[in-house]
């Protein structure tokens, strides 16, 4: 298989040092190349006290070098030298360009998938980045590519004992109930079920769903979304053959015994799903985009500006993101 493409992320965050560290300690990691600025990567290596990597810098992903001791870099230069912990919108175009070029490399078959290092959305918004995050941006970049299954994007965070998918992603809390239509819940259920089969090799996936209201609405006494929208959508999914249970109280769906009843659970809004997974698996969960024609994963954490450049950032989640993207690409190659 071709290597993975790793996009640089915000150069003021911890992404550069994660790439530098994992390259230096790459034994056991899947092959990957970097999409970004090689000088920034050298500076990150130096800050960690690591030897400067030997680079093969290219502007065409078809020209990746084959020497395992050389770090391939698809060149996306920064506009200005980074200052760890101090993001600057002047580098936003390079941050966005790295995501575009990594995605283009995967679409063209030069990479088996994309692993994105973290971006700060607020910084990119100042540069007119019109997307809530990578998830929607990469879906946009791949929207014209053939995809025979239900098309995402759906955000999933996947850890060793929990996979949680989101029915709404970066939606302001006040807008969540109106965003939860039957059609949306049905789409998300299909995308999650197909991804569990295709990308995770689970032949007969079992899916759980969180209620929106306390106690999943208590039979309509404290909210009717479960009765009017969520459970009818779930019934439609069951009629299609999916093993998906009616919405249950979200507060009781994440303990050990509850997690044993499903392969993935659909949470209805960002923090409902991300609080439990980041509590259980902050160090080793992976953010994965479901329903895309290309494989895309990311560490579960953000830019870590408060610790950037200090050598404190743990690389476990980035390593897990590389491993998961590689495994998904293998699954797709076998299909
Ligand atoms: N995949 C992504 O691109 C992604 C994911 C989440 C958040 N973000 C962005 O990151 C920015 C900061 O978000 P935040 O502060 O909520 O979350 P964060 O994950 O950056 O930081 C939360 C806390 O965890 C610590 N931390 C994060 N990663 C770590 C690591 N690898 N090792 C050790 N400690 C680590 C940080 O130092 C901080 O104290 C936001 O702009 C957000 O949009 C991006
Ligand atoms: N919601 C994610 C999280 O909190 O971990 C994160 O913001 C990443 O979003 P994108 O992968 O869409 O950039």
Measured between alpha carbons, how far is 180 from 170 in angstroms, rounded to an integer?
A: 13
Q: What is the pLDDT of residues 174-214, one digit of tens each?
A: 999 999 999 999 999 999 999 999 999 999 999 999 999 99
Does the Cβ of 126 fall within 6 Å of ligand 1? no
Distance 302 CA to ligand 1 centre (A): 3
Q: What is the pLDDT of residues 68-94, one digit of tens each?
A: 899 999 999 999 999 999 999 999 999
pLDDT above 90 for 127: no
Q: What is the arrangement of strands in the sheet containing 4-7, beginning at the earlier edge strand?
A: 55-58, 71-75, 32-36, 4-7, 114-116, 296-299, 286-290, 154-159, 162-166, 264-267, 206-209, 243-244
Q: What is the pLDDT of residues 257-276, one digit of tens each?
A: 999 999 999 999 999 999 99
Same-domain pairing of 275 and 219: yes
Average pLDDT over residues 94-116: 98
Distance 70 CA to ligand 2 centre (A): 31
- Determine contact, residues 14/85, Cβ cutoff 8 Å: no
pLDDT above 90 for 167: yes
Enter the ipTM. Answer: 0.97
Measured between alpha carbons, how far is 277 from 271 in angstroms, rounded to an integer?
A: 10
pLDDT above 90 for 125: no
Q: For residue 171, what pLDDT is reported?
A: 95
pLDDT above 90 for 142: yes
Same-domain pairing of 137 and 214: no
Question: Domain with 177 in it: what CATH number?
Answer: 3.40.718.10
- pLDDT grade, residue 312 (50/70/90)? very high
Q: Whose CA is nearest to atom 3 of ligand 1?
A: 118
DSSP letter string, 227-269: IIIIHHHHHHHHHTT-EEPPPB-GGGSSSHHHHTT-SEEEESS
Q: Whose CA is nearest to atom 33 of ligand 1?
A: 313
- Determine contact, residues 35/119, Cβ cutoff 8 Å: no
Which of 115, 287, 292, 296 to probe ligand 2 with, by most ligand atoms within 8 A of CB? 287
- Determine contact, residues 333/5, Cβ cutoff 8 Å: no
* Count of CB atoms situated within 10 Å of the CB of 4: 26
Same-domain pairing of 247 and 234: yes
Average pLDDT over residues 156-160: 98
Same-domain pairing of 35 and 129: yes
Element (H, E) at 100: helix 92-107
pLDDT above 90 for 153: yes
- pLDDT grade, residue 27 (50/70/90)? confident
- The total domain count for the chain is 2
Q: For residue 150, what pLDDT is reported?
A: 96
Same-domain pairing of 130 and 40: yes
Q: Which residue's structure tokens are 């439990």? A: 276
Q: For residue 128, what pLDDT is reported?
A: 83
Does the Cβ of 118 fall within 6 Å of ligand 1? yes
Same-domain pairing of 106 and 143: yes
Ligand 2, atom nearest to 157 Cα: 5
Same-domain pairing of 134 and 1: yes
- Rounded to 5°, the CA angle 70-76-77 comes to 105
Q: For residue 126, what pLDDT is reported?
A: 83
Measured between alpha carbons, how far is 118 from 116 in angstroms, rounded to an integer?
A: 6
Measured between alpha carbons, how far is 48 from 16 in angstroms, rounded to an integer?
A: 11
Same-domain pairing of 105 and 158: no
pLDDT above 90 for 293: yes
Residue 297 structure tokens: 């994963």
Q: For residue 79, what pLDDT is reported?
A: 97
Same-domain pairing of 70 and 113: yes
| Structural domain that includes position 296 | 1-147+292-335
Same-domain pairing of 105 and 187: no
Percentage of residues of the chain with pLDDT beyond 90: 96
Same-domain pairing of 277 and 302: no
Distance 224 CA to ligand 2 centre (A): 29
Same-domain pairing of 286 and 298: no
* Residue 319 DSSP SS3: helix
pLDDT above 90 for 335: no
């Amino acid at each position: 298989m071709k290597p993975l493409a790793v996009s640089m992320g915000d150069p003021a965050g911890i992404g550069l040092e994660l790439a530098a560290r994992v390259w230096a300690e790459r034994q056991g990691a899947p092959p990957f190349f970097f999409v970004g600025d090689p000088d920034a990567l050298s500076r990150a290596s130096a800050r960690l006290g690591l030897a400067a990597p030997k680079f093969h810098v290219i502007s065409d992903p078809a020209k990746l070098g084959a020497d395992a001791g050389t770090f391939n870099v698809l060149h996306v230069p920064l506009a200005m030298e980074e200052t760890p912990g101090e993001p600057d919108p002047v580098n936003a175009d390079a941050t966005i360009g790295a995501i575009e070029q990594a995605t283009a490399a995967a679409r063209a078959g030069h990479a088996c998938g994309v692993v994105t290092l973290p971006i700060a959305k607020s910084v990119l918004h100042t540069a007119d980045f019109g997307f809530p995050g990578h998830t929607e941006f990469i879906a946009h970049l791949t929207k014209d590519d053939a995809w025979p299954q239900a098309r995402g994007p759906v955000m999933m965070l996947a850890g060793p004992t929990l996979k949680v998918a989101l029915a709404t992603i970066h939606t302001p809390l006040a807008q969540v109930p109106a965003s939860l239509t039957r059609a949306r819940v049905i789409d998300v259920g299909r995308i999650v079920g197909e991804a569990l089969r295709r990308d995770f090799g689970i032949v007969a996936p079992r899916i759980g769903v969180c209620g929106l209201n306390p106690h999943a609405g208590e039979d309509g006494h404290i909210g009717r979304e479960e009765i009017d929208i969520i459970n009818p959508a779930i019934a439609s999914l069951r009629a299609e053959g999916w093993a998906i249970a009616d919405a249950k109280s979200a507060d009781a769906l994440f303990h050990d015994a509850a997690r044993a009843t499903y392969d993935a659970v659909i949470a209805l809004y960002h923090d409902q799903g991300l609080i439990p997974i980041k509590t259980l698996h902050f160090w080793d969960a992976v953010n994965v985009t479901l329903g895309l024609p290309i494989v895309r994963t990311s560490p579960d954490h953000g830019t870590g500006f408060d610790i950037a450049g200090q050598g404190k950032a743990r690389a476990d989640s980035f390593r897990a993101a590389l491993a998961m993207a590689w495994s998904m690409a293998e699954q797709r190659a076998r299909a």
